[in-house]
């Protein structure tokens, strides 16, 4: 087995287990469904890191949902650079829609703050944020997700869709990546 794929060679500790993830996704799906009862929610998935979480959340909903994917990034390597790039698919009008942004992790908050502003400027009726992981101690903008899977410490997390250099997304848990891997 490639050393980079052996969990013990790349992960320092497990932050969130597979069982914890399953339980919390179910709870979030129920909470979101209650809040959007009688409405259609437009789930806007921020790719690429949130794809696993978003798929599980959408399956956990009991309300009608439309799903759209966007790309939004403010990272270069392991650091947030402050500039946010947003790429949306064509043919999805947000005007008068209730939008639920599904994100893998909220760190500085810059990316989601920018995405929220764009959606509101385009006429969305409401915009809420559902994040799998939250690092509130890293926040540099005033942003508080409505739905949070787990608060985590300021450590480099991978797994369940989160990556480093497009690796480690396949882990069914969230772990702390060993620093020697990203400090090369």
Q: Among all residues, which ones are annotated catalytic?
A: 107
40 token code pair: 């259609």
Q: Which helix (H) or strand (E) holds 107?
A: none
Per-residue DSSP letter, 172: S
Q: d(Cα 152, Cα 50) in Å, to the nearest integer?
A: 16
Q: What is the DSSP letter of 5?
A: G
Per DSSP, the three-state class of 82 is strand
CA–CA gap between residue 154 and residue 135 (Å, rounded)? 6
Rounded to whole angstroms, how far apart are CA atoms 167 and 158?
8
Residue 78: both structure tokens together:
């392991």
* Closest to 5 (Cα-Cα) out of 183, 184, 181: 181
């Amino acid at each position: 087995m490639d050393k980079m794929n052996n969990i013990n060679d790349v992960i320092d500790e497990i932050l969130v287990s597979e069982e914890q993830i399953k339980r919390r996704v179910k709870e979030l799906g129920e909470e979101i469904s209650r809040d959007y009862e009688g409405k259609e929610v437009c789930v806007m998935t921020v790719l690429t890191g949130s794809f696993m979480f978003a798929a599980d959340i959408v399956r956990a909903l009991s309300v009608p949902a439309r799903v759209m994917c966007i790309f939004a990034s403010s990272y270069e390597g392991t650091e947030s650079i402050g500039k946010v790039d947003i790429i949306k698919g064509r043919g999805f009008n947000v005007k008068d829609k209730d939008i639920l942004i599904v994100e893998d992790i909220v760190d500085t908050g810059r990316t989601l703050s920018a995405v929220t502003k764009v959606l509101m400027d385009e006429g969305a009726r409401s915009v809420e944020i559902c994040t799998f992981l939250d690092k509130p101690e890293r926040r540099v903008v005033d942003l508080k997700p409505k739905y949070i899977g787990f608060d985590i410490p300021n450590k480099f997390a991978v797994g369940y869709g989160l990556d480093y250099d497009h690796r480690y997304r396949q882990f069914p848990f969230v772990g702390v990546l060993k620093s020697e891997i990203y400090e090369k």
